[in-house]
Amino acid sequence: MVLVRDGTVPVPRLIRVRLASPLPITVPDQVFLRSFTPEGGLLPPILEPQLDPTVAAPDVVTLFGSVDAPYTIIEVARRHGTCAGGDRAGALCTANADCKGGICGTSCVDQPATACTVDGDCPSGACGELFDFSALVVNGGPLVLPRSVPSFCQVPPHAACAGPAGCPAVGDACVSYAYEATTPVPLDGLAASTTARTFTISEAIDGVDRNGDGDTNDSVITLRDRASGQSDPLGATAGCGLVGSPEGRAAVRVQQFPFSFPAVSVEGGVLAFLESEAGQLACDENGDADVADGILRVFRLGIGETPIARLRTVDTAPRIDGSPVKVSSGRVYVRTSEADMARHVVERASEKFGGGDSNNGSRSLF
């Protein structure tokens, strides 16, 4: 069982699938994957291939995505082609429809830019076929993959193994496939670019403190490399009493009745979001004597945080293309709030005769 619920509402859960192929295989692009309902209806892609550096065993395909239904059917297309013309010229394809006006011609698996008609046209000898399991099936299938066939260890670093002795870690096993159910993430918390993925996780769903503030009440934003799936920790906010290198930071949620969504934007390897002072251990980050602000934070995948000379309190109204923060062409756009950036002070409005605090019977004289 991998589905979880927030109250009565089912919450999608991130999953990672590792599958050892009985023959050499790679899944080089999302275009080769499609998902279907049990009745055969086409669904938006929920899995994508990853170049998982934690897998040491050969011919192990890693897929990453989410599930929000009891089960679906995943198709891995066999035909390998490259678009000639159309809106996706030069992109990988399996059919003409993938090329948006172009033609999907067969190409070499190891050299997609090389058109081919026979295996002899390609250095690896593989033309137009991502894989060929015909030698392993009878009359077209199905191909059964017993889990107990020795292939790789299901616990990182997923080393190649020839039997149980090759996987000595507690709870480890030598298997041919493994399914890993990880973090529950609401749909409004999913955002991605071509190189990065962000997940805004509700700590309350699974009771895990991901920003290191000692509670599980926050919406925490995390950042990952899209190709490898590796997490890029955002670390602790300086000066807020947080220690170590937490996975993420508490994010402000924008309220648009009856909905809410995290204030986050991602483009390429750039992540911009509004950090919640209240969620980061009630920390007054900009020194204005309150902890109610959303502070602009910018991170670059693999590089870390981009320093901002003066911390900016951002207006959370979603007025920039439906969001309070937007990354476009490498630049971050926000609307700062002078009122929220001003230091809050308390001044005495009246005092009793002779000075000091007023009492119930005193009043100001002008």
Instruction: Enter the pTM of the model.
Output: 0.78
User: Is 359 domain-assigned?
Assistant: no
User: Is 175 domain-assigned?
Assistant: yes
* Residue 189: predicted pLDDT: 82
d(CA 119, CA 122): 6
* Residue 13: predicted pLDDT: 82
Whether residue 34 is found in the same domain as residue 95: no
Q: Are 245 and 252 in contact (CB under 8 A)?
A: no
What band does 3 get if pLDDT is binned at 50, 70 and 90? Answer: low
Which domain range does residue 74 map to?
4-78+132-182
Whether residue 190 is found in the same domain as residue 272: yes
CA contacts within 13 A on the Cβ side of 21: 15
Whether residue 253 is found in the same domain as residue 154: no
Whether residue 59 is found in the same domain as residue 146: yes
What band does 361 get if pLDDT is binned at 50, 70 and 90? Answer: low
HEC string of 141-157?
CCCCCCCCCCCEECCCC
* Residue 131: predicted pLDDT: 87
Whether residue 63 is found in the same domain as residue 158: yes
Higher pLDDT, 312 or 349: 312
What band does 366 get if pLDDT is binned at 50, 70 and 90? Answer: very low
User: Minimal CA–CA distance to 195: which of 222, 226, 224?
Assistant: 226
**Identity of the amino acid at 85:** G
Whether residue 330 is found in the same domain as residue 244: yes
Whether residue 19 is found in the same domain as residue 71: yes
Mean pLDDT of the chain: 87
What band does 183 get if pLDDT is binned at 50, 70 and 90? Answer: confident
User: Is 364 domain-assigned?
Assistant: no
Q: What domain count does the chain have?
A: 3
Whether residue 18 is found in the same domain as residue 96: no
pLDDT tens across 252-306, in order?
A: 999 887 788 999 999 999 999 999 999 999 999 988 888 999 999 999 999 999 9
User: Minimal CA–CA distance to 66: which of 172, 179, 150?
Assistant: 179
pLDDT tens across 334-359, in order?
A: 998 777 777 766 777 677 667 777 66
Whether residue 326 is found in the same domain as residue 246: yes
CA angle 231, 232, 234 (to 5 degrees): 125
User: Is 358 domain-assigned?
Assistant: no
User: Is 313 domain-assigned?
Assistant: yes
% of the chain with per-residue pLDDT over 90: 51
* Residue 229: predicted pLDDT: 86
Whether residue 68 is found in the same domain as residue 38: yes
pLDDT tens across 222-264, in order?
A: 999 988 888 999 999 999 999 889 999 999 999 887 788 999 9
Whether residue 160 is found in the same domain as residue 264: no
User: Is 348 domain-assigned?
Assistant: no
What is the maximal distance between C-alpha atoms in the chain? 103
* Residue 2: predicted pLDDT: 64
Task: Give, in order, the Cα–Cα distances in Å from 267 to each of 79, 135, 302.
Answer: 31, 44, 14
CA dihedral (140, 104, 129, 32) positive or negative: negative
pLDDT tens across 124-143, in order?
A: 889 999 988 888 887 777 88
% of the chain with per-residue pLDDT over 70: 93
* Residue 135: predicted pLDDT: 82
Q: Taking the mean position of all CA atoms in its chain, how far away is CA 176?
A: 26
Max mean pLDDT range (19-23, 46-50, 126-130, 346-350): 126-130
User: Is 362 domain-assigned?
Assistant: no
User: Is 127 domain-assigned?
Assistant: no
* Residue 25: predicted pLDDT: 79
d(CA 285, CA 13): 33
Final residue of a structural domain among 99, 121, 143: 121
pLDDT tens across 69-99, in order?
A: 777 788 889 999 999 999 999 999 999 999 9
Whether residue 273 is found in the same domain as residue 227: yes
pLDDT tops 90 at residue 190 = no
